[in-house]
Amino acid sequence: MSTPASQRRTTVVAGGQSLAETAATRLIERIAKNPQQVRICLTGGSTPRRLYELLATEPWRAQIPWSRVHWFMTDDRFVPQDDPLSNIGMARAAFLDACAPSENVHAIPTSAATPDEAAERYERELKSFHTAALDHEPPLFDLVLMGIGPDGHTASLFPHAAALEEHQRWVVGVAHANVAPFVPRVSLTFPCLASTGEMLFLVSGDEKRDILTRALSGEDLPAMRAHAMRGETVWLLDQAAAPRNIDSSHAGSH
Ligand code: 6PG
C-alpha cells in the first residue's frame, strides 16, 4: 500500500546545492536528538554524492560526533567495493574513508558467493544492532536516506518484484535490476527501512519530474510504499524535480 499523503511532508528547495545543505542540516539535527549510538542508512545512486561530499567539509564535519555514528546502506549493487558501480564505494570516497572510523562503516558484504548469501549476512549484522522486532521502539535506524529511480523504484525494490511483498526478511538478494546498471543487487526490505526515526528522500533534476508527478498523484510505485513506521517521512525535492502542481514558494509542508 502507498504511504498516505498525510504521513508525508514534501519540501522544495532551489537546486542541488540547497538540497545537499538542507539534507546535511537535517542529518545533523537528527544526530543531535540521540545522545547515544546513532545509526544512519545511506542511499546509493548519484543524487546523494553532493551531500556526502559536504559532510566531509566544514562547517558540517565538525558537527558530527564520528565515533558514535554508524553508517549502513539501503542497498548495493553486487559488485566489489572498489568497482565504480558500488554504492558504498561512492560513499567511502565521498566522505566515509576520510571521516568515519572504519569499524563504524557497515557495508553490504558483496564479497559473498551470492546476493542471497550477502543478504543473509547483512541481516545478521543488522540484528546485532537491533535485537528486538523491527516495530519495536527505539527503531533500528535514526535516519534512512532514500532516492527514487526513473521507474519508481527505491533502494533496490523494483516495480512488481516479489521483494515488495517481503514481510519477514530484513534484507533480500535481487537477481535482476529493472534499470541500469543491470547487475544483481542486495536491498533492505520495506519493514527494515521503515524502522527509523526519519526517512528522507532526496530527489534532484528535471529527469525526475515525470516519475515524481506520477508518484505524488498516488500511483502505487515502490517509492510510495516506503515510509518511516512511526517517524517522519520527508521528500526533499529541488525545483527542477518538483512536479508543476507543487508550488515551490510554499517551500514548507504539503
Ligand atoms: C541504486 C540506488 C537507487 C537510487 C535511485 C536514484 O543503487 O541505484 O540505491 O535506489 O537511489 O535509483 O538514483 P539517482 O540518484 O542516481 O537518480
Pairing verdict, β 185-188 and 171-174: antiparallel
Which stretches of 134-205 are assigned E, i.e. beta strand?
A: 143-146, 171-174, 185-188, 198-203
pTM of the entire predicted model: 0.95
**Residues 6 or more apart in contact with residue 199 via CB below 8 angstroms:** 143, 144, 146, 193, 226, 227, 228, 231, 232, 233, 234
Nearest-CA residue for atom 14 of ligand 1? 45
**What does the alpha-carbon distance between residue 96 and residue 100 come to, in Å, rounded to a whole number?**
5
- Binding-site residues, ligand 1, Cβ < 6 A: 43-47, 74-75, 77, 87, 147-149, 153-156
For residue 146, give the ligand 1 atom closest to its CA.
Answer: 11
Please count the residues of the chain. Answer: 254
Of the options 3.40.50.1360, 3.30.1490.20, 3.60.130.10, 2.40.160.40, the CATH number for the domain spanning 5-184+196-246: 3.40.50.1360
Tell me the torsion sign for CA atoms 20, 24, 25, 30: positive
**What does the alpha-carbon distance between residue 87 and residue 44 come to, in Å, rounded to a whole number?**
5
The residue written with cell numbers 533480500 in the block is 172
pLDDT of the chain, 254 residues: tens digit per residue: 566 655 789 999 999 999 999 999 999 999 999 999 999 999 999 999 999 999 999 999 999 999 999 999 999 999 999 999 999 999 999 999 999 999 999 999 999 999 999 999 999 999 999 999 999 999 999 999 999 999 999 999 999 999 999 999 999 999 999 999 999 999 999 999 999 999 999 999 999 999 999 998 889 999 999 999 989 999 999 999 999 877 543 334 33
The residue written with cell numbers 516495480 in the block is 159
Nearest-CA residue for atom 12 of ligand 1? 149
Q: How far is the CA of 152 from the centre of ligand 1 (A)?
A: 10
Q: List the chain domain ranges.
A: 5-184+196-246
